[in-house]
Structure 1
Amino acid sequence: MRSRGARASAIGTAVLLGSVVLTACGGDSEPEAGKPAAAGESDGGRQQGTQAVRGAYDKTAEADTAKMTVKVRAAAEGKTVSSDGKGAIDFEDGESTMTVTAAGRTVEQRVVDQVLYQKVPGQKKDGKAWMKIDLRKVAEQQGADPGQIGDPAQSAAYAKAISDDDVRKAGSEKINGVDTVRYDVSVDVSRLPGGERLRDQVGPTLPMRLWLDDDGRIRRQQIDMTVKTPASAEPGAGGSSQQVKVSTVTEYTDFGTDVGAEAPPAGQVADVTGQVARQGQKQS
């Protein structure tokens, strides 16, 4: 039987996967039901839906910036881990500011020039309050493409991984007071960046839901998935892998808002990139 620590570690891995790989996806509960698509939806209607989904990333990025909220829920073996974040993002360069609340603590987080900075209340390293993780170096050490890290344009990969048969118009709903159309989408994982490795973890397809406003911009994006985590090396934890159900939701509002992401003063920053990369290699 796995220890409580092993379960928490596995869930933590899945939460990280859900929030990094699926940067604009989510859901902490079943969404409000929209009107079902017409049973006899035409080929033209499906094509229009596919075009709307494929164009949504570019149309959203045209707004330059937005406020965002991110909710991640992960559950395994009766234990649930949740995190809730809110902040703002620059779609052009991926810079962002966010506060993330999890396990009763609120973490301040910034991404500047593909470097992640985190400040956890009550935690310091070498007397410094901010932890620094160079996302490009972590990607390189784990065999990923550094260009995919922190690059909002990579979200467009989801659009390229769908066909007309993968998109269904599922009705209309209001999201934060804004009229939207919801689309249910099936994403071909093998066509995503790093798809071969991702397929081993989450399966061949990902069910995605998109809520688009009248301008074709994303107001909400959701994916619920089951992640296979590697077997824990912890003594007594057992050698079998785990399945963790992860649900992530991102919502965008206030397009054109000021982001103002700045790196903390260098004297207040401790670099933990190497430690994070080694932990990732152990979990691979």
Structure 2
Amino acid sequence: MRSRGMKASAIGVAALMGSVVLTGCGGDDEPKSGKAGAVSSASGGAGAREQGTAQVRAAYDKTAEAETARTTINMKLSAQGKSITTDGKGALDFQEGDSVMTITAGGKSIEQRVVDQVLYQKVPGQKVQGGKAWMKIDLKKAAQSLDMNGQQIGDPAQSAAYAKAITDKDVAKVGEEKIDGVDTTHYKVSVDLAKLPGGARMRQQVGSTLPMHVWLDGDGRLRRQQLDMTVKTPASASAKPDDSASPQQIKMTMVMNYSDFGTEVEADAPPAGQVADVTDEAMKQGRKQQS
């Protein structure tokens, strides 16, 4: 069903962001973006720009048509001289939004599943509420409570909305590159947040546009997508009026790779008796960050 878009990618992003909040693990490796230097002069013609725009707009649906894929995700958050890096690898179902992943952060390996828009995480050797092995967050409930209207910053799943928000002048061809041995075309893209659902809130946090880099294979599918942005966070309620560190700015880089399209994905919820629901705690943390 093409209309459902790449729902799993959005859930994967939310899950990774949730894992950073819940585990508090850190790292310092900078993700690589390939040859993202000067934009190719070949992109200068109007016809070339229009063709590139059409290919980028179609890429999300073409990727979703593959139904499933293996994925790796690297996300780095930096603020006030400190950084947190989270890496994930696994498989996802574009149609159903389910995924199974192993997340590595701060030397810890975290088992993660997303099933029916519910995030489950298990840290080996660590127990949560009531001595349970798994924690869970209802992602849909959390998004609604935080007035996000289902929209995550950098959510690549909003395929139709993103396509409408990209115009010819927002797409530039960078060049031809190989991703894991696959020939790809690299584009620099700018998304007008005013044209996205929930864009007004996002504009307050990241500015008027969302910068992206995408790499498309010969079939027009996404092989890599990179987001680079600076997110403004509200000043702490306890901050002094002359505190120059408020409001804070968080630099975020996220790189998502897709491969092995059509791979089998088996995502099952853990037994209910082994799961502790921490949705309310996650929402409280989210509200503190918004206040």
TM bin, normalised by shorter chain, reads 0.7 to 0.9
The 8 Å contact of residues 33 and 226 in structure 2, kept in 1 or not, is answered as no
Match of 1:184 in 2: 188
Distance in 1 separating the partners of 2:194 and 2:151: 19
Identity of aligned residues (%): 60
Choose from 100, 105, 108 the match for 1:105.
108
Could you state the TM-score of these two structures normalised by the residue count of structure 1?
Answer: 0.85
Match of 1:277 in 2: 283
Residues 1:221 and 2:219 aligned together = no
Could you state the TM-score of these two structures normalised by the residue count of structure 2?
Answer: 0.83
| RMSD of equivalent CA atoms | 2.7
Residue identity in the other structure for 1:66: A
Residue identity in the other structure for 1:244: I
Alignment length, in residue pairs?
A: 263
Choose from 247, 254, 269 the match for 1:241.
247
Secondary structure at 1:260's aligned position in 2?
Answer: coil
After superposition, the Cα gap between the structure-2 partners of 1:252 and 1:79, relative to the gap in structure 1 and judged at 3 Å, is same
Match of 1:154 in 2: 158
Residue identity in the other structure for 2:281: Q
Residue identity in the other structure for 2:54: Q
After superposition, the Cα gap between the structure-2 partners of 1:152 and 1:211, relative to the gap in structure 1 and judged at 3 Å, is closer
Distance in 1 separating the partners of 2:272 and 2:224: 36
Residue identity in the other structure for 2:115: V
* 1:134-149 mapped onto 2 (5 Å cutoff): 134-146=138-150
- What stretches of structure 2 of length at least 5 have no aligned partner? 1-13, 21-29
Residue identity in the other structure for 1:222: Q
Choose from 34, 40, 45 the match for 1:42.
45
Match of 2:25 in 1: none
Residues 1:81 and 2:87 aligned together = no
Choose from 72, 92, 98 the match for 1:69.
72
Cα deviation for residue 264 of structure 1 reads 0.3
After superposition, the Cα gap between the structure-2 partners of 1:226 and 1:18, relative to the gap in structure 1 and judged at 3 Å, is farther
After superposition, the Cα gap between the structure-2 partners of 1:59 and 1:267, relative to the gap in structure 1 and judged at 3 Å, is same
Match of 1:23 in 2: none
Cα deviation for residue 155 of structure 1 reads 3.8
Cα deviation for residue 277 of structure 1 reads 1.2
Match of 2:60 in 1: 57
Distance in 1 separating the partners of 2:257 and 2:158: 18
Distance in 2 separating the partners of 1:36 and 1:140: 39
Secondary structure at 1:48's aligned position in 2?
Answer: helix
* 1:181-220 mapped onto 2 (5 Å cutoff): 181-220=185-224
Match of 1:166 in 2: 170
Cα deviation for residue 40 of structure 1 reads 7.0
The 8 Å contact of residues 87 and 105 in structure 2, kept in 1 or not, is answered as yes
Match of 1:122 in 2: 125
Residue identity in the other structure for 1:249: V
- What stretches of structure 1 of length at least 5 have no aligned partner? 1-12, 20-26
Secondary structure at 2:226's aligned position in 1?
Answer: strand
After superposition, the Cα gap between the structure-2 partners of 1:213 and 1:40, relative to the gap in structure 1 and judged at 3 Å, is closer
> What does the per-residue CA deviation read over 1:98-137, in whole Å, with 9 as the maximum and x for residues that have no partner?
1111111111111100100011223212110100111111
After superposition, the Cα gap between the structure-2 partners of 1:42 and 1:140, relative to the gap in structure 1 and judged at 3 Å, is same
- Which moved further from structure 2: 268-277 or 185-194? 185-194
The 8 Å contact of residues 108 and 118 in structure 1, kept in 2 or not, is answered as yes
Distance in 2 separating the partners of 1:226 and 1:51: 28
| Higher RCO structure, 1 or 2 (CA under 8 Å, sep 6+) | 1
